[in-house]
């Protein structure tokens, strides 16, 4: 029963990873909730036109009425995202389709891509270590699509999962684009910028399971950053 035991233990680890993820996300979305109303009020008072102010007033009402729904849907999307593990979670229109996407949708998609890229850069070390541990444990399938960072590839628990899950839940409310942007900003500030403890906990769980416990990419990444810096400096010197 070696293979059977391994599968059972891998399922157990998977369940624990999911539990850590959901506990973090549920706590984080409470912070988002608390910060949202004051930000919408601020946007209302600063709105450049009556029309825009009206949009924020209406949206504030919708968000108040449906915030439990938004929270539930977001968490549901996160769970589905982990369980389905698509090869690519960026739900990105193929290049040929980009022309067919309307301007608002494209800008929406771009806002998300920028948010995800910023987060992937911010948590690069923890994400890279997590991806290597997930690969080594075989608990979750990780693709080899290179994302940002040192060939970090696709991380099924990375910021893309969190950002796209929220975006999918938010788009169900069909809010005006200006309101959408304001809501996403609050989400980035309260949830996306506070993901570090989550990635530390997920790595911690796999370390306790004996998956690459000695792996520490700090030195390696510092060296890599330094060589990139030096390369840029020498390019600048040549251009000068």
pLDDT of 99 > 60? The answer is: no
Cα separation of 26 and 74, whole Å?
9
Nearest CA-CA partner of 147 in 112, 119, 115, 120: 120
Q: What is the pLDDT of residues 102-141, one digit of tens each?
A: 888 888 889 999 999 999 999 999 999 999 999 998 888 7
- Nearest Cα neighbor of 183 from 115, 103, 89, 92 is 115
Average pLDDT over residues 136-164: 72
Contact 169, 70 (CB under 8 A): yes
When mean pLDDT is compared across 22-36, 56-70, 94-108, 225-239, the lowest value belongs to: 94-108
Q: What's the pLDDT at 166?
A: 97
Percentage of the chain with pLDDT > 90? 63
Q: What angle do CA 189, 70, 198 make, to 5 degrees?
A: 45
Place of tokens 């910060």: 35
Task: Flag whether pLDDT at 48 surpasses 90.
Answer: yes
Answer for the pair 125, 217: CB distance below 8 angstroms, yes or no.
Answer: yes
């Amino acid at each position: 029963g070696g293979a059977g035991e391994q599968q059972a233990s891998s399922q157990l680890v998977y369940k624990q990873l999911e539990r850590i993820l959901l506990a973090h996300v549920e706590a984080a979305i409470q912070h988002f909730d608390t910060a949202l109303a004051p930000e919408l009020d601020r946007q209302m008072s600063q709105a450049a036109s009556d029309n825009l102010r009206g949009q924020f007033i209406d949206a504030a009402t919708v968000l108040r009425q449906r915030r439990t729904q938004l929270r539930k849907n977001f968490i549901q999307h996160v769970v589905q995202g982990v369980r389905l593990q698509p090869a690519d979670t960026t739900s990105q229109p193929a290049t040929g389709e980009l022309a067919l996407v309307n301007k608002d949708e494209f800008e929406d998609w771009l806002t998300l891509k920028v948010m995800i890229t910023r987060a992937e850069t911010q948590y690069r070390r923890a994400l890279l270590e997590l991806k290597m541990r997930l690969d080594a444990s075989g608990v979750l399938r990780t693709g080899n699509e290179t994302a940002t960072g040192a060939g970090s590839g696709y991380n099924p628990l990375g910021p893309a999962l969190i950002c796209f899950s929220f975006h999918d839940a938010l788009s169900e409310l069909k809010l005006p684009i200006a309101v959408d942007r304001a809501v996403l900003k609050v989400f980035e500030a309260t949830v996306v910028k506070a993901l570090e403890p989550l990635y530390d906990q997920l790595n911690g769980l796999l370390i306790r399971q004996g998956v690459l416990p000695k792996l520490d990419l700090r030195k390696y990444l510092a060296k890599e950053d330094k060589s990139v810096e030096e390369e840029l400096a020498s390019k600048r010197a040549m251009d000068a």
